[in-house]
Chains A and B, each alone.
Chain A
Amino acid sequence: MSPKPILSAFRQALGESWAGGAGALLPLGFFAGAAVLVPLGIGTEPGMLRAVGPGILWVSLALSSLVTLERIFQADVEDGALDLWLQAGAPVSAIAAAKTFAHWLTAGLPLALMSPVLALMFQAQAGIGLLTGALIYGIGGLAFFFWGGVGAALSATVRRGGLLIALIALPLYVPTAIFGSMAMRGAALGDTAPLLLAASTLFALAAAPFAMAAALRLAAD
């Protein structure tokens, strides 16, 4: 087995996500838009905003990670690229993981980098905490993309599968959402919450590619 097909799949997915026109901007806009609506809805009392901010950001992050995922495997089914990747001589799970990782780099990482700006809007203290926050959103977002990728692979042959992806992926987001918001609060479990978050992301990285591979084989069948 050679790693070359995996690298090529990664490169193609990078090109594809930029060529879509919106690239990273679509999920970024969604993320910001969803988070900005909240203060407008619940009022601007600083103490309350500070309390709900991290939770709102997790919810917005989860939803905006779903925005780009609909097309990542569906397009491959439609244009025949999936058939080529399945016969490329590399493990399908590795190819699926490479594609999902490429999409996280172009859409998920910018979300994490933008989170300090939104956190400030929710009256978070300016400081080093904002950067650790971005790191935590980045780690959690990676899990969101991999579980979302499972939903995308399962609904690859379904037209207008976006809602279906959400239905499949959102339950899988639960551990990340729990550990993630605990890590942001930092209180309840002390320092173990970020580790639990990282562990749940590692689990997603280990398990999701095999689920995606099985779903993609089924999609081509």
Chain B
Amino acid sequence: MLTATNLGILRGERVLFEGVSLSVAPGEAVVLRGANGAGKTTLLRILGGLTRPEAGQVDRRATHHWIGHREGLKPHETPRAHLKLWAQAWGSDADIDAILREMGLSRPSEVAARYLSAGQRRRTALARLMLDRRPLWLLDEPFTALDADGREQLLALVANHRQSGGAIIAAIHGDAGFVASREVTL
């Protein structure tokens, strides 16, 4: 689904990483490991096509979802408005009420993002995963700010996605909570 070979990137004068190769097939989950500043986010951005690597190439054969460490919510946007906007952008006719309910966002669904807690913003971003079926998910620290309940919901999403043949590449600190097919350490 995605193959990356010999990726390398400079940040300033410094080589952040080089010779990184990875691939992911349907149903697999690859976990990126590394200390703070090792380049996990940068690697994900390269895989998503946001950052151009100095060396190597990425062959992405499937559409993907992107959950970055910044959620992409506008301060005035409500969770419902955010999901509606992206459903329209992606041409999806998903049931937004059901998605809000599933992510535990029914109550704050009409609250502007600037008044939401970090966990609620994160749940809103993760709810985008349900708007449109895309084979590949790129997740940057998806568990950040989530409570135990939110964590369970995300793990259920992940399990569901993998069962139906989806693939995941995620940068995660600590316990992933799901069985990784492979770990890539930077």
Contact = CB atoms under 8 A, between A and B. Distances in A.
Interface string A2-15: 10110111011001
A80 B64 contact: no
Given A78-B70, A83-B68, A84-B72, A8 B86 contact: yes
Contact of B49 (A8, A84, A87): A87
A84 B66 contact: yes
Interface in B60-98: 63-64, 66, 68-77, 81, 85-86, 88-91
Describe B's contact surface by its main secondary structure.
Answer: loop
B91 A4 contact: yes
Contacts of A2: 91
Interface string A67-100: 0000000010011110110111100000000000
A88 to B, nearest CB: 6
Nearest to A95: B89
Contact of B76 (A11, A19, A88, A220): A19
Majority SS at the chain A contact face? helix
Contact of A12 (B49, B69, B74): B74
Interface string B39-71: 000000100111110000000000110101111
Contacts, number: 71
Nearest to A8: B89
Contacts of A221: 50-52
A88 B65 CA distance: 10
B89 A79 contact: no
A83 B74 contact: no
Query: Which bracket fits the contact residues of B?
Result: 20 to 34
Given A79-B75, A80-B72, A83-B70, A8 B85 contact: yes
A220 B70 contact: no
B91 A87 contact: no
B89 to A, nearest CB: 4
Contacts of B73: 79-81
A8 B72 contact: no
Interface in A1-49: 2, 4-5, 7-9, 11-12, 15-16, 19
Interface in A116-169: none
Interface hub of B45, B51, B64, B76 (most chain A Cβ within 10 A):
B76
B91 A79 contact: no
A181 B68 CA distance: 47
Given A4-B89, A8-B89, A88-B89, A79 B71 contact: yes
Given A83-B50, A83-B68, A221-B50, A19 B89 contact: no
Contacts of A12: 74, 85
B153 to A, nearest CB: 21
A7 to B, nearest CB: 7
Contacts of B86: 8, 84
Contacts of A88: 89-90
Contacts of A86: 49-50
A44 B91 CA distance: 58
Closest 9 CB pairs of A and B: A80-B70, A19-B76, A8-B89, A80-B72, A5-B89, A84-B72, A81-B72, A220-B50, A8-B88
Given A8-B89, A83-B66, A83-B68, 13 more contacts: A4-B88, A7-B88, A12-B74, A78-B70, A79-B73, A79-B74, A80-B71, A86-B49, A87-B50, A87-B64, A88-B90, A220-B45, A220-B50
